[in-house]
Amino acid sequence: MNNKNLLNLIDITVSFEGFLALNKLNLNLNKGELRAVIGPNGAGKTTFLDVITGKVKPTKGEVIFKGKSLIGRNEHKIARLGVGRKFQSPRIFENLTVKENLEISVTTPKSPLNLINKNIKDEQLDEIERLMKIVNLSQKVNLKAGSLSHGQKQWLEIAMLVGQKPDLMLVDEPVAGLTDEETDLTADLLKSLSGENTVVVIDHDMEFIRRLDSNVSVLNQGTVLCEGTMETIQKDKKVIDVYLGRPED
């Protein structure tokens, strides 16, 4: 482990009544890195995110984020430390407007007293405006988030994630159900976010992963099978066997 590492997962094992969802998983992330995580269904991709965000407590192992252990911390404390998460299906607050959704994400401090007593700060309003421009929702500020299209919801959730200003962004299947054009835009957006932020993207869509042009970790049966660039893993015999199948051409 060195100073450049933002996150270290060390020998993480998660056992659900004997079933090993994660089995001695090791993974290190550098600051500013964009990392794609792929794997067949049941490989443990979502459990992997659950462990980092505190939703699932690992049976064994250690999670080190910015030099601090995350084990035993509550979800909201981990979020405040700088871990943000976007869920598989868009999880936004459908009964609130686009702007209200973003207000929830950019507000700091996130204490009841601050929320009930004070108005939102000007710089936070500016940030909301900036985010809405990035994800093309400026026209829909006061619409209920529930009335947005699927793609717009995905983007709103990404904007909420960015608004949280996390050091580590965990993005679970951001392009599920998006059109090709939207997928391309999302890939560009995520690429532009890395560098300043550290981004982990989980997805099935090979075209999308290729477009991200990042290091890829392949999960299988709860452990990291292989790591490297897209080219390296596509040539890896084990990966081909469990996941990719024979090359198309």
Is residue 200 within 8 A of residue 170, CB to CB? The reply is yes
Which part of the chain contacts another protein (CB under 8 A), choosing from 128-136, 139-147, 187-195, 230-238?
139-147
Distance CA 9, CA 48 (A): 10
Task: Kindly state whether residue 95 participates in binding another protein, applying the rule CB under 8 A.
Answer: yes
Min dist. Cβ of residue 96 to another protein (A): 5
Q: What does the radius of gyration of the chain's CA atoms come to, in whole angstroms?
A: 18
57 or 235, CB closer to another protein? 57
64 or 81, CB closer to another protein? 81
* Tally of CB atoms within 10 A around 113: 8
Task: Kindly state whether residue 107 participates in binding another protein, applying the rule CB under 8 A.
Answer: yes
Task: Kindly state whether residue 205 participates in binding another protein, applying the rule CB under 8 A.
Answer: no
Residue of 93, 125, 134, 240 that binds another protein (CB under 8 A):
93
First to last CA, the chain: 40
Which part of the chain contacts another protein (CB under 8 A), choosing from 4-12, 64-72, 80-88, 148-156?
80-88
x/- string (CB under 8 A) for another protein, residues 181-200? --------------------
Distance CA 168, CA 94 (A): 25
Residue 151 Cα distances to 40, 46, 131, 137, 158, angstroms? 24, 21, 16, 11, 11
What does the longest C-alpha to C-alpha distance in the chain come to?
Answer: 62
- Would you state the structure tokens that stand for residue 59, as one six-digit string? 């049976």
Task: Kindly state whether residue 240 participates in binding another protein, applying the rule CB under 8 A.
Answer: no
Q: Which residues bind another protein (CB under 8 A)?
A: 53, 55, 74-76, 79-80, 84-85, 87, 91-96, 100, 103-105, 107, 110-112, 115-116, 119-120, 139-143, 147, 160, 164
